[in-house]
Amino acid sequence: MAGRADPPEGTPEGLPGGGEDEYRSVVFDESFVKAARLQEFSAQERMAERTRAVRSLPSPASRSGSTVALLLVLLIAALLGTAVYLGVRDPSRSASAKRAEPLRITLIPLAPRGPVPGGDPADLYAHSPAARFRVGASGITLPGAQRTESFSESQVMTALTTAKDYLVESSLDPEVLTGGAVRPVRILLDPDQLEQFDRSMNAPAADGYHAATGWLVRYPAAVVLADPEVRVRGTMSVVEAGPDALEVTSDHTFAYALRRATPARSGTPDATGAASGAWQASLFTVRRELTFRFDRDDLHQHRAELLASYVQAGPQRCADDASRTLRPLLAGERTTGRAPADTDPYSLGEATAALCGSLASDAQPTPPR
């Protein structure tokens, strides 16, 4: 009995399903022909001696395999090239790093109420609030480092030590204080702030953004250190300022023993009319309250973003422009005019003062008895 597998002529015509009617619904369209895995030889090819009547065609998958492989290789090469380009373009800044903000600067000169006390540096320190201060970098102590929600203990310690390094270089380095050096400070800054820093050094201005003395402590060439051992006391704290940044606040008072680079002759009145000793020193006090920000790139590169700088410094005249250098009044000198309310730079806590303050009597050295 013939079935569906039998050739069409095996079924008599006229029977259901017989003849051409059974195959009338089958359409051999172009896609069907192209997809066929077998192909009959041509008449000329069949005349030759062959054992097979049909040839096998390559499957679509094998025909497209090489093309797919080539496209995959090109895609991988493109991805690798993009990664290399991004790494070379800025290896120190991740995509999530926030651009550093400009430094905001506040300078408060502190004017003396009378003549500036003078004497030997050791005596001046011993009879002033700085007698209890430590010497140099030892006075910049670090709080205990503890991990935060987003930063490890070592990252917190890196932020604190970098802030301390900045304070040391910008407040204690003799070449920075009186030699005009800037590189020890500059290399510790985030690259986004270098343009502002360079302008502050080259063209300082009392505009709240470009005072050189907001970035570092600097004295004019006419003033030198009478004692290189600067006295320091202060505090530091660190908090997490979001998942990608740490913020460090430092509040330190620095006491400097200064004298004239070329001493005035004993008994000769100076520019203010006050008589001064030949080699007398005087104390100049600078209180610096700085706010640092560290993103993850800053921590990795050992650099800082300086957000705010609040500086009180005296004794100096309120009218003097201290944006390029601080302008200390030295032994025997005094200011004129009515002074504002007292401001004590040795008193830590919330720093408040007008655009100019009066240096509190307790902040000046007292003569030995």
Is residue 94 in a domain? no
- Of residues 348 and 53, more confidence is placed in 348
Tens digits of residue pLDDT in 15-62: 444 455 555 555 555 655 555 555 555 666 555 555 555 555 555 555
Residue 274 has pLDDT above 70, yes or no: no
pLDDT score at 161: 98
Q: Residue 235, Cβ neighbours under 10 Å: how many?
A: 14
Tens digits of residue pLDDT in 297-314: 999 999 999 999 999 999
Is residue 16 in a domain? no
Residue 2 has pLDDT above 60, yes or no: no
Is residue 19 in a domain? no
Is residue 28 in a domain? no
> What is the count of structural domains for the chain?
1
pLDDT band at 275 (very low <50, low <70, confident <90, very high): very low
Answering whether pTM is above 0.75, one says no
Is residue 75 in a domain? no
Is residue 30 in a domain? no
For the chain, the C-alpha Rg in angstroms (whole number) is: 42
Distance between CA atoms of residues 214 and 106, nearest Å: 7
- Domain range for 195: 104-266+276-363
pLDDT score at 108: 94
pLDDT score at 45: 59
Is residue 333 in a domain? yes
Percent of all residues in the chain with a pLDDT value above 70, rounded to a whole number: 68
- Of residues 75 and 249, more confidence is placed in 249
pLDDT score at 48: 58
Tens digits of residue pLDDT in 143-202: 999 999 999 999 999 999 999 999 999 999 999 999 999 999 999 999 999 999 999 999
Residue 106 has pLDDT above 90, yes or no: yes
Distance between CA atoms of residues 252 and 142, nearest Å: 12
Average pLDDT of the residues of the chain: 81
Q: Please, where are the H alpha helices in the chain?
A: 30-35, 43-47, 60-89, 121-126, 153-171, 174-177, 183-186, 194-202, 212-215, 296-301
pLDDT score at 273: 39
pLDDT score at 76: 82
pLDDT band at 268 (very low <50, low <70, confident <90, very high): very low
pLDDT score at 195: 97
Percent of all residues in the chain with a pLDDT value above 90, rounded to a whole number: 57
Q: Residue 41, Cβ neighbours under 10 Å: how many?
A: 14
Cis peptide before 228 (omega within 30 of 0): no
pLDDT score at 89: 45
DSSP 328: -
Tens digits of residue pLDDT in 199-255: 999 999 999 999 999 999 999 999 999 999 999 999 999 999 999 999 999 999 999
Strand-pair category, 134-135 with 38-40: unpaired
Residue 140 has pLDDT above 50, yes or no: yes
- Of residues 269 and 187, more confidence is placed in 187
Residue 353 has pLDDT above 70, yes or no: no
- Of residues 366 and 200, more confidence is placed in 200
Distance between CA atoms of residues 332 and 119, nearest Å: 10
Is residue 136 in a domain? yes
